[in-house]
């Protein structure tokens, strides 16, 4: 879980550590051949980057601020800071389209250097894209460059310190460039954990989690990232903001919430104070089988409303269960049928035991079948592996992508049916749509869809159409365009519908105040 030895740079055309590239399991290969036929679509080898358009004088100015070695304009570095890791991002990279490459990558160390870069960017009208782990799946790193003297990627890779720990209040202040495993390793030295495990955990950063209001697989127990944040330090073009001087207060609207989820458009987060927990002595994960998705979902709602959530709780629908998506090592293998639920418990042994026994009694009473620890441990073991399979699927001619949304319990059946229908209608016969409930609350839950279809001649256009149809269905059903992937550039039109013209106007007003010349992530988040 805290392995920091993995390569720090991801594959430029795919997900994760190139050394960990995963071929499709034999069982999955058979399934794909059956469903889609075989149609190899390898990525192009040779990619040409547009030349850096930054005037040499501007590069020199940045070098004076940060030192020569921390201002990079070589193709290899710029390529690694081009866009994020959505399937459209990968399809473009695989086709050799790197037109969003930054003109230069700057690597400040510390708040003051970030502030200096922002001041320089304002003076010379450079667009600035804060870059954490580069795992955005909503186009959050594809800022607009037209109208600017250049576009620079502000890479937070050097800002990786644990700045302070308060063992009495149980808080820790972390720098934004720490990736998930690095933050956990530093906290573990103090006997602490953050407990934030999104599927992108290995590469995503503390600053990125805050900037996108991320949610992890253990959020039922530890809380969403925005709920873990106690304080923020932010560098804006107008100066510094330091927010969060108390655990809770009534001092007007909570401005931390304005910065959380601001996706680099209001400022650069340079430090995050988070709530931490003692390292759990015990971690147990187990599987449950439900006769149907509806019954499993009702059981989740029951637990959430009784205040008895385990640390991890997720439920696959019949289709996702039948191909074993919850267990990447077993995809395409024989399935137990019904709907698979994973329940996990972390903490002190007596607390884990007490919670587990009461949850077990409730789930059994509601008709669940306990499958024991093997499926749960297998899920936990492979929990970060599934994204590696996407590259192999794209190679095999399969269009594969995920999307997520969230709604109230009373609306989940409609939302589930409408999104599924929209995706199937757009992508056509043979499309596979899988779903799981990924996060649960007392009042509702998040639905996470995985879609697979045969790639046509224009897989990018094919996906953009399907995504637009699904997004329309989400908004028409009264749900949110995103539970945890954030807005980026991809969700902007639907954000505008979700928050209405007045909401858009408030966002624009805040942007105009904090970033009056509009240098920060132009075109991202704000409609
Ligand atoms: C395979 C895969 C699985 C994923 N699973 C999950 C999941 O389980 N849960 C989840 O919540 N998300 C998930 N995501 C989405 C993604 O990992 C999150 O959005 C993550 O929080 C982004 O962090 P990052 O450090 O990679 O940020 P980046 O991708 O580098 O940046 C994201 C946005 O935040 C801005 N930004 C980054 N750092 C800062 C900063 N310090 N200050 C201001 N702005 C900043 C960027 O400009 C950009 O707009 C997944 C993505 C992938 C590819």
pLDDT of residue 512: 98
Average pLDDT estimate for 46-68:
94
Ligand 1 centroid distance, CA of 36 (Å): 31
Provide long-range contacts, Cβ within 8 A and 24+ apart, for 4-10: 4/181, 4/182, 4/185, 6/181, 6/202, 8/157, 8/179, 9/80, 10/80, 10/85, 10/134, 10/203
Q: List pLDDT tens digits, range 429-475.
A: 999 999 999 999 999 999 999 999 999 999 999 999 999 999 999 99
pLDDT tens digits, one per residue of 487-524: 999 999 999 999 999 999 999 999 999 999 999 999 99
Beta pairing, strands 312-316 & 432-440: antiparallel
Is the minimum distance from the CB of 327 to ligand 1 under 6 angstroms? no
> 135: CA distance to ligand 1 center in Å?
5
- Model pLDDT, residue 42: 83
Whether 7 has a pLDDT exceeding 60, the answer reads no
154 lines ligand 1 (CB under 6 A): no
- Interstrand relation of 151-155 and 104-106 (parallel, antiparallel or unpaired): parallel
Whether residue 479 has pLDDT greater than 50: yes
Q: Mean per-residue pLDDT for 71-92?
A: 97
CA distances from 266 to 262, 281, 508, 509, 521 (A): 6, 40, 10, 11, 9
Cβ 288 under 6 angstroms from ligand 1: no
User: Half-sphere exposure (CA, 13 Å, Cβ side) for 461?
Assistant: 3
| φ and ψ at residue 517, rounded to 5 degrees | -95, 5
pLDDT of residue 22: 77
Q: What is the pLDDT of residues 135-145, one digit of tens each?
A: 999 999 999 99
In this prediction, residue 4 has a pLDDT band, given cuts at 50, 70 and 90, of: very low
Q: Give the list of residues 6+ apart from residue 96 with CB closer than 8 angstroms, or none.
A: 44, 46, 47, 48
Angle between helices 293-305 and 412-427 in degrees, nearest 10 = 140
**If you average pLDDT over residues 39-56, what whole number do you get?**
87
pLDDT at 414: 98
Q: Residue 155: is its pLDDT beyond 50?
A: yes
Closest residue by Cα to atom 5, ligand 1, is: 199
Helix (H, G, I), strand (E, B) or coil at 147: coil
Q: Which residue reads 């030895």 in tokens?
A: 5
242-246 mean pLDDT? 96
- Among 197, 208, 438, name the best residue to mutate to test ligand 1's pocket (greatest count of ligand atoms within 8 A of Cβ): 208
Q: Taking 60 as the threshold, does the pLDDT of residue 122 lie above it? A: yes
pLDDT band at 43 (very low <50, low <70, confident <90, very high): confident
pLDDT, tens digit, 9 for 90 and up, residues 317-334: 999 999 876 666 666 666
Q: Return the CA Rg of the chain.
A: 23
Which pair of structure tokens corresponds to residue 205?
């950063």
d(CA 91, CA 394): 8
Q: Indicate the pTM of the whole model.
A: 0.96
Ligand 1 binding pocket mutation candidate from 15, 88, 135 (most atoms within 8 A of CB) = 135
- Is 177's C-beta closer than 6 angstroms to any atom of ligand 1? no
514 lines ligand 1 (CB under 6 A): no
- Predicted pLDDT at 330: 63
Mean pLDDT of 35-54: 84
Looking at the predicted structure, is the pLDDT value of residue 223 above 50? yes
Binding site membership of 485 for ligand 1 (Cβ less than 6 Å): yes
Q: Is the CB of 388 under 6 A from ligand 1?
A: no
264 lines ligand 1 (CB under 6 A): yes
- Is the torsion defined by CA of 505, 506, 507, 513 positive or negative? positive
What are phi and psi for residue 345, nearest 5 degrees? -130, 130
In angstroms, how far is CA 475 from the centroid of its own chain?
21
484 lines ligand 1 (CB under 6 A): yes
Residue-averaged pLDDT of the chain: 94
Mean pLDDT of 149-161: 98
pLDDT, residue 24, reads 81
Residue to substitute in 132, 227, 261 for testing ligand 1 pocket (most ligand atoms within 8 angstroms of CB): 132
**What separation in angstroms does the CA of 39 have from each of 96, 340, 453, 456, 459?**
19, 31, 12, 10, 13
Among residues 273, 82, 300, the alpha carbon closest in space to that of 165 is found at 273
Q: Token pair of 368, please?
A: 């669940």
Report whether 439 contacts 483 (CB < 8 A). Answer: yes
How many angstroms does the Cα of residue 225 sit away from the middle of ligand 1? 12
86 CB within 6 A, ligand 1: no
Q: Per residue in 337-376, pLDDT tens?
A: 899 999 999 999 999 999 999 999 999 999 999 999 999 9
The values of phi and psi at residue 79, to 5°, are -65, -40
pLDDT of residue 5: 43
Asked if residue 438 has its Cβ within 6 Å of ligand 1, the reply is no
Q: Is the CB of 192 under 6 A from ligand 1?
A: no
Dihedral over Cα of 116, 121, 122, 128: its sign: negative
DSSP state of 235: E
Separation of alpha carbons 130 and 16, rounded Å? 20
Binding site membership of 268 for ligand 1 (Cβ less than 6 Å): yes
The share of the chain scoring above pLDDT 70, in percent, equals: 96
For ligand 1, what atom is nearest to the CA of residue 176?
41
Distance 133 CA to ligand 1 centre (A): 7
Q: Cβ(118) to ligand 1 under 6 A?
A: no
Phi, psi of 410 (to 5 degrees): -65, -10
2 pLDDT band, cuts 50/70/90, is very low
């Amino acid at each position: 879980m805290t392995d920091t030895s993995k390569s720090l740079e991801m594959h430029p055309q795919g997900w994760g550590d190139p050394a960990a590239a995963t071929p499709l399991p034999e069982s999955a290969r058979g399934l794909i051949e059956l469903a889609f036929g075989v149609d190899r679509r390898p990525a192009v080898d040779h990619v040409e980057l547009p030349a850096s358009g930054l005037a040499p004088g501007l590069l020199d100015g940045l070098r004076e601020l940060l030192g020569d070695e921390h201002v990079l304009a070589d193709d290899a570095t710029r390529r690694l800071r081009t866009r994020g890791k959505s399937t459209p991002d990968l399809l473009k990279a695989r086709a050799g389209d790197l037109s969003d490459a930054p003109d230069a990558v700057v690597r400040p160390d510390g708040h003051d250097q970030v502030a200096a870069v922002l001041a320089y960017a304002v003076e010379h009208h450079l667009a600035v894209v804060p870059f954490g782990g580069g795992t955005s799946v909503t186009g959050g790193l594809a800022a607009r460059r037209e109208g600017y003297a250049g576009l620079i990627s502000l890479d937070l890779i050097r800002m990786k310190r644990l700045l302070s720990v308060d063992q009495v209040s149980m808080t820790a202040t972390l720098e934004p460039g720490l990736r998930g495993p690095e933050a956990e390793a530093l906290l573990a030295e103090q006997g602490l954990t953050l407990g934030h495990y999104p599927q992108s955990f290995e590469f995503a950063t503390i600053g990125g989690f805050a900037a996108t209001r991320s949610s992890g697989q253990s959020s039922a127990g530890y809380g969403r990232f925005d709920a873990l944040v106690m304080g923020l330090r932010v560098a804006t073009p107008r100066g510094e903001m330091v927010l969060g001087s108390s655990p809770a207060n009534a001092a007007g609207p909570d401005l931390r919430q304005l910065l959380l989820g601001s996706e680099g458009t209001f400022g650069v987060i340079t430090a995050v104070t988070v709530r931490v927990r003692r390292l759990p002595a015990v971690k147990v994960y187990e599987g449950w089988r439900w006769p149907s998705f509806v019954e499993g979902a009702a059981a989740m709602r029951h637990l959430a409303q009784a205040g008895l959530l385990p640390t991890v709780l997720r439920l696959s629908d019949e289709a996702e269960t039948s191909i074993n998506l919850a267990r990447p090592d077993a995809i395409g293998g024989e399935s137990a049928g019904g709907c698979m639920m994973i329940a996990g418990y972390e903490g002190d042994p007596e607390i884990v035991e007490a919670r587990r026994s009461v949850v077990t009694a409730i789930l059994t009473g509601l008709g669940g079948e306990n499958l024991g620890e093997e499926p749960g441990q297998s899920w936990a073991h492979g929990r970060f592996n599934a994204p590696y399979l996407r590259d192999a699927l794209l190679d095999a001619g399969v269009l594969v992508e995920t999307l997520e949304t969230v709604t109230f319990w009373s609306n989940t059946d409609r939302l589930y049916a409408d999104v599924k229908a929209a995706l199937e209608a757009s992508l056509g016969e043979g499309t596979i749509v899988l779903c799981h409930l990924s996060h649960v609350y007392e009042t509702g839950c998040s639905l996470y869809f995985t879609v697979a279809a045969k790639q046509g001649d224009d897989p990018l256009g094919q996906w953009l159409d399907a995504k637009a149809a699904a997004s329309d269905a989400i908004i028409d059903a009264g749900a949110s365009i995103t539970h945890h992937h954030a807005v980026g550039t991809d969700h902007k039109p639907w954000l505008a519908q979700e928050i209405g013209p007045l909401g858009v106007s408030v966002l624009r007003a805040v942007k105009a105040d904090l970033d009056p010349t509009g240098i920060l992530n132009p075109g991202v988040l704000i409609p």
